[in-house]
Amino acid sequence: MARTHPGRDHVAARPCWRCRACGAPWPCAPAKLALLDQFAGHSVARAFFMAARLEEAIADAVELGQKPDVAALTERFTQWVREARRARSGGGDSDASSQHTAAPRLD
């Protein structure tokens, strides 16, 4: 009974941080799309959200007695957020925010 919906079903199973729907390392591609949609126009909030998840993933790994690869986890959890922001500021299509086009740029 593996139902794969685009969107909310692609959530992380803790403490392994694999997707509950597809089993891929979280955030999987559908999870990223859902997060882009969920935080459309709020890329800073999305970055904070992912930073918090990163911290939880590292803490979970430590709690399991593992030695987390912090650099790899940081890239996995936050790199795509930066790429999405870059794509957006370059007129990209992955984080189109039609509601808040007048958001100030901090960089």
Q: Which positions touch Zn ion (CB under 5 A)? A: 10, 19, 21-22, 28, 30
Q: Closer CB to Zn ion, residue 37 or residue 99?
A: 37
d(CA 103, CA 78): 21
Residue nearer to Zn ion on the CB measure, 18 or 41: 18
* Shortest spacing between CB 11 and Zn ion, in angstroms: 8
Rounded least distance, CB 1 to Zn ion, Å: 16
Beta strands in 2-93 (DSSP E): 12-13, 18-19
In the complex with Zn ion, the residue whose CB is nearer, 10 or 85, is: 10
Give, rounded to a whole angstrom, the gap between the first and last alpha carbons of the chain.
46
Which residue lies nearest Zn ion, judged by its C-beta?
Answer: 19
Beta bridge partners of 18: 13, 25
13 three-state secondary structure: strand
